[in-house]
Amino acid sequence: MTDTMSPAYRGLPAREGESMDRRDTRARAALAGSVLAGALLLSACGAITLGQPTAGTPVAHGTAPGAAPTSAPVDPTPSDTTTSAGPTTGVPAPSTTPPAAKPTPKPTPKPTPKPPPKEGDTLVPGDTGAYVTKVQLQLSALGYWNGSADGSYGGLTSQAVMALQKAAGLGRDGVFGPATQRALKNGVRPQSRTGGTGIEIDKARQLLLVVRGGRVTLVLNTSTGSGQQYTSEGATRVANTPAGTFSTYRVVDHLDKGPLGDLWRPRYFNGGIAVHGAGNVPGYPASHGCARVSNPAMDMIWATNLMPIGSTVTVY
């Protein structure tokens, strides 16, 4: 049979039980829709073409008189944030926030200086002031040698106070407390046993006395033999300072290095036993047999020649 279908529905598939007229109507509707879609596409393309003029074709600016714009112009809205299109490296951007200011450190308060001791205060090594000077002068007046009165309670003042404490039968700590102050006020001073001229070493009170014409002129703190055993050069001995009357027979004006230790400027009076300077002169017997005095006291003995060769040394 010859195909008598309208060109409008050629290629349009037939539906089951659909009449030719019905199919023709559906085909024409489809064709009309295609034509409308094509017109719209051409219209859109024409608009695009107007936006891109060809060479030699003038471009109209503005709007024709009487023509109303189809829509209001839209201003571009700026984005609140800007996103970089670059690749992310994983390294955080440096902070723009300034670092918090460090708190200003508070100045360390200076300790309140200790007020100088006043009359009647207990004096200890390290104290300074006019009261210390006064005590030093009073000690010197009684014969307790402590060098020059410089207002500083140092080692020499402590040695002199210890000598006063020994003479008064007090505790030997070198601190100028109430009992020692009373002893100084009362003028406590040891007396000579020999009544002559020379050096006396009082082992019981651990004092060295310089005696002139039976009068004690100087009193020094000393430390004699400890009474303990010791071994020297293969022999065991007792650290003792023998009692008796002796004579100074040898003097060494420098550090004398002996088998039992170093002796500062010793003056020997009984074999290897001497009066010599030492860095440590405690308030109790501690030597191997010699009579220790402070190094400055030994320098004073040399400066004043208090123990010349031939001078008498009495130990009791």
Strand 235-238 and strand 229-232: the pairing is antiparallel
pLDDT (tens digit per residue) in 200-242? 999 999 999 999 999 999 999 999 999 999 998 889 999 999 9
Output 99 or 310, whichever has higher pLDDT.
310
Which bin fits 156, alpha (ψ -120 to 50), beta or left (φ > 0)? alpha
Q: Is residue 299 part of a domain?
A: yes
Q: Which amino acid is at 189?
A: R
CB 290 within 8 A of CB 266: yes
pLDDT of residue 13: 57
Give the Cα separation of 67 and 17 in Å (integer): 53
Same domain, 227 and 311: yes
Please report which residue ranges of 51-154 form alpha helices under DSSP H: 130-141
pTM over cut 0.85: no
Same domain, 163 and 228: no
Output 63 or 204, whichever has higher pLDDT.
204
pLDDT of residue 72: 44
pLDDT of residue 294: 98
Same domain, 206 and 172: no
Same domain, 267 and 300: yes
Strand 291-294 and strand 273-278: the pairing is parallel
Same domain, 135 and 210: no
pLDDT of residue 71: 44
Q: Which amino acid is at 227?
A: G
Q: Is residue 283 part of a domain?
A: yes
Q: Is residue 6 part of a domain?
A: no
pLDDT (tens digit per residue) in 261-304? 999 999 999 999 999 999 999 999 999 999 999 999 999 999 99
Same domain, 166 and 221: no
Q: Where does the pLDDT of residue 61 fall: very low under 50, low under 70, confident under 90, or very high at 90 and above?
A: very low
Q: Where does the pLDDT of residue 101 fall: very low under 50, low under 70, confident under 90, or very high at 90 and above?
A: confident
CB 30 within 8 A of CB 12: yes
**Residues in contact with 299: Cβ distance below 8 Å, sequence separation at least 6, in sequence order:** 265, 277
Same domain, 142 and 239: no
Q: What is the CATH number of the domain that holds 213?
A: 2.40.440.10
Q: What is the CATH number of the domain that holds 178?
A: 1.10.101.10
Same domain, 217 and 308: yes
Going by C-alpha positions, the residue among 304, 179, 288, 300 that lies closest to residue 239 is 288
First to last CA, the chain: 169
Sign of CA dihedral 279, 281, 286, 291: positive
CB 267 within 8 A of CB 254: no
Output 296 or 66, whichever has higher pLDDT.
296
For residue 55, CA distances in Å to 45, 58, 62, 224, 300 come to: 18, 8, 20, 130, 124
Same domain, 271 and 165: no
Model confidence at 78: pLDDT above 50: no
Q: Is residue 46 part of a domain?
A: no
Same domain, 172 and 274: no
Q: Is residue 308 part of a domain?
A: yes
* Domain range enclosing 176: 130-185
Q: Which helix (H) or strand (E) holds 212?
A: strand 207-212
The total number of structural domains in the chain stands at 2
DSSP letters for 89-101: -SPPPPP-SPPPP
pLDDT of residue 21: 61
Q: Is residue 55 part of a domain?
A: no
Q: Is residue 261 part of a domain?
A: yes
pLDDT of residue 96: 73
pLDDT of residue 104: 83
Same domain, 251 and 175: no
CB 114 within 8 A of CB 85: no
Same domain, 296 and 218: yes
Give the Cα separation of 44 and 177 in Å (integer): 118
Q: Which amino acid is at 100?
A: A
Q: Which residues are catalytic?
A: 276, 290
Output 252 or 70, whichever has higher pLDDT.
252
Q: Where does the pLDDT of residue 32 fall: very low under 50, low under 70, confident under 90, or very high at 90 and above?
A: low
pLDDT of residue 223: 99
Q: Which amino acid is at 182?
A: R
Model confidence at 1: pLDDT above 70: no
pLDDT (tens digit per residue) in 251-272? 999 999 988 899 999 999 999 9
Q: Is residue 95 part of a domain?
A: no
